[in-house]
Amino acid sequence: PHGQLKPASTLKMLTATTLIPLLNPNAYITASTQATTVEPNIAGLVAGSSYKVSDLFNALLLISANDAAIALAQGTGSLSSGVALMNAEAHHLQAWDTVAKDPNGLDAAGQHVSAYDLALIARQALKLPAFLRYDQTRTFDFKVSPAKNETLVNQNSLLSTYPGGLGGKIGWTSAAGAT
């Protein structure tokens, strides 16, 4: 339970658990070049465009948008402050095996979680009504730019195929495999 493993996108539960209480869902965040150039860039954020915080959380949890994760963390003032807040939240939850280096879970040197810690983080996430609203949304109309909308479809098939499934986060990277 305490093996230190690569988190892939399961780390986005910590991102959401940390930032949902801190960011005003009706506020707007301007996407930085750093957010829009992360690979893979899932939501297709456009540098210099502003996005509603609640829309970014939908993109984060429905389609595992790496660009939305960076933008949300930067919404705290900077990417480094967002990641520092995530690590502080992990310690607050006594998730001692967790070290976040980025808000999206993409492979990063020294970044790890354990199964035990993911259970602690998921338990906290599922206590947040806003997390459940975002995480259980099946589809969402996301405004990428003034001329382009995309329908986001929730990638977590456990919500539709596992009786009693409440939510959570799936993930995959080459190094982490399926998480």
| Helix/strand/coil (H/E/C) assignment for every residue in 80-110 | HHHHHHHHHHHHHCCCCCCECCCCCCCCCCC
Q: Is 137 in a helix, a strand, or coil? A: coil
Report whether the peptide linkage leading into residue 163 is cis, meaning its omega lies within 30 degrees of zero.
no
29's enclosing H/E stretch is strand 28-30
Which tokens hold the place of 160?
């539709």
Q: Quick check: 149 and 143 in contact, CB under 8 A? A: yes
Active site residues: 9, 12, 64
Distance of CA 91 to CAs 2, 6, 107, Å?
15, 18, 21
